[in-house]
Amino acid sequence: MLPWLNLGLHSTSVAQVEHVQHMSSYLARLVASGVATSRSDLARVTRLARSTVSQYLAPLLRINLLSEHEGAAVTRGRPPTVLSLNPQAGVILVADIGASHGRLGVADFGQHFIAERAIATHVARGPEAVLADVRNEFHALLKQHHIDSDSVRLIVVGLPAPIDFATGTPAHPPIMPGWDNYPLPSAFKNDFATAQVLVDNDVNLMALGEARCRPASQCPILFVKVSTGIGCGIVTHEGVLHRGVDGAAGDIGHVRMPDHDELCRCGNTGCIEAFASFSAIMSKLGLDEDAPMPQPDSSTQIAAMVRTAAEDIGELLAMLVHFYNPNVIVLGGRMTEFGAEMLAGARSVVYRRALPLATRKLSIELSLLGKRAGIVGGVVLGVEHVLSPKGLQSLLAGQQSVASTR
């Protein structure tokens, strides 16, 4: 069950069918968030007549997105009838694809994970090779758990790249040769014809996953990933991802820092990820990013390098704190394997450089979800999309299409 949701309606359409979809979406979100779990609850919360509530529930029950069942027994009379998001409505596949490693997940609509698997990705191989591996791994997971591919309703993919969310295409990704403008959603159509495909920046998924595992009162949240690159996911006070007008919000790895002239993979110099990312530190040690971590006898040197990098990142975070005034900054990514040094370095600079009003309520913490943040956020994004008017429209259309072919 989703702990909290943005329940606001989108713009109202004059077309009756669109109005029904908007209202059905609204009721589905009320049920999924636990605000209302029966027809009488929905009538009370929305101030609609029971008959009107039933009208808007009908398409949700018809496609089994919601289920209606007897609740707990009461001392007198019949047990109440309870509405809930139906875990059997289908499954969501999530691929959190990093520069060299990734994680896959299969979850039901109740947000219960059925299966998870870590995979090697190495995005420099190009989209065809990487996505072929992802599809094969998805099929293996589904087969292992006896799930038919027709049950897949949604696929969510996170990439370490700027993403045009509307089209699901990467836009000039610095560390992903061959991926620019690649039509990623179409790569899954032959294998999963009934599924919608959403593509987002990986740190956005991590931010959303982290936000949903915390109380809503902790928003706004900035999630900062420090791995091969450095990126930031922004979750607003209302619990909504902020992507910006073109999906480039939070691409902080290419902010130029003073007194640095290191060449970045984007072609510019002085970008913070060119000298303060995990890959930059490994490079300074003469190690490949995928190499095993150095032995303990060199840990003091590594700790000092991480602390210095964290202080550089803290300078950037101090600017973000003044600009956005978040409640929580969450640090994630491979660099947080050195959590104590990372936290100490970032905190020391942020609290020293930012003004007291901006840091009065600020907390800087390590990720609660760790490596799972991306797939958890992917499931959240998937469920919230399905429950939106647009997602509900696509789901209804897909169900009608399947029914017409039988």
- Pair 146, 44 in one domain: no
> Over 80: is that where the pLDDT of 396 sits?
no
Average pLDDT over every residue of 333-362: 94
9 inside domain: no
- Pair 292, 230 in one domain: yes
What are 251-257's contacts with CB under 8 Å, separation 24+? Answer: 251/162, 252/224, 252/316, 252/320, 253/229, 253/277, 254/174, 255/316, 257/312, 257/315, 257/316
- Pair 271, 183 in one domain: no
Average pLDDT over every residue of 24-46: 91
Task: Categorize the per-residue pLDDT at 174 as very low, low, confident or very high, splitting at 50, 70 and 90.
Answer: confident
> Over 90: is that where the pLDDT of 380 sits?
yes
309 inside domain: yes
1 inside domain: no
- Pair 279, 394 in one domain: no
DSSP 132-195: HHHHHHHHHHHHHTT--GGGEEEEEEEESS-EETTTTEE-S-TT-TT-TT--GGGGGTTT-TT-
2 inside domain: no
Reference 205, options 25, 383, 6; nearest CA is 383
8 inside domain: no
Task: Categorize the per-residue pLDDT at 1 as very low, low, confident or very high, splitting at 50, 70 and 90.
Answer: very low
Query: What is the domain extent for residue 51?
Result: 16-85
155 inside domain: yes
- Pair 113, 159 in one domain: yes
- Pair 76, 100 in one domain: no
Q: What is the CATH number of the domain that holds 283?
A: 3.30.420.40
- Pair 152, 284 in one domain: no
Which of the listed residues 38, 53, 85 is the one where a domain comes to its end? 85
5 inside domain: no
- Pair 57, 144 in one domain: no
Which of the listed residues 27, 52, 85 is the one where a domain comes to its end? 85
- Pair 249, 350 in one domain: yes
- Pair 139, 238 in one domain: no
**What's the structural domain count of the chain?**
3
> Over 80: is that where the pLDDT of 357 sits?
yes
- Pair 186, 260 in one domain: no
168 inside domain: yes
The tens digit of pLDDT for each residue in 77-115 reads 566 789 998 988 899 999 999 999 999 999 998 889 999
Q: Which of 3-7, 121-125, 326-330, 359-363 has the lowest mean pLDDT?
A: 3-7
Which of the listed residues 35, 63, 85 is the one where a domain comes to its end? 85
Q: What is the CATH number of the domain that holds 44?
A: 1.10.10.10
- Pair 93, 79 in one domain: no
DSSP 75-143: SSSSPPEEEEE-GGG-EEEEEEE-SSEEEEEEEETTS-EEEEEEEE--GGG-HHHHHHHHHHHHHHHHH
Average pLDDT over every residue of 152-174: 94
Mean of the per-residue pLDDT values of the chain: 89
pLDDT at 394: 82
